[in-house]
Structure 1
Amino acid sequence: MEKEKFAIKGMTCEHCAMHVTTALEGLSGVKSAKVSLKKNEALVKFDAEVTPVEEMAAAVKEAGYELVK
């Protein structure tokens, strides 16, 4: 299990942070995602073999935001 911080662009409110959290936690292999609007970042615990960073970035993009690796 890996733990990594990612910058998130495009969030403007707590609903945005909830959308990013939901997008990340909806992926298999993601154990948890703690998204901070104040810091514009996400702390994600995940299994990189099951969920690569590119898949997380795609899910966040589909939700309307940008995950910066």
Structure 2
Amino acid sequence: MEESRLARINELYKKSKEIGLTEAEKTEQAELRSEYIQAIRKNLRGTLNQISLLNPDGSVTELSKKEKH
């Protein structure tokens, strides 16, 4: 996520605490927060995909996404 978008999230947060936000700004804030959360999840998934577990018997198991039942 771009630094300018993170700065805008922080700017809207500060403004909401000081004087409040207009409806348009509230919508913008919600969209930016959603985008931020998606970026964090993508980053976390990428990190988890790089992890392998070493089993007691010496074999290596890669972490993978579990299927939902």
Same fold per superposition (TM over 0.5): no
TM-score by length of 1: 0.30
Task: Considering fraction of residues, name the structure with more strand.
Answer: 1
Task: Considering fraction of residues, name the structure with more helix.
Answer: 2
Structure showing greater relative contact order (alpha-carbon pairs closer than 8 Å, 6 or more residues apart): 1
TM-score by length of 2: 0.30
Structure number with greater Rg is: 2
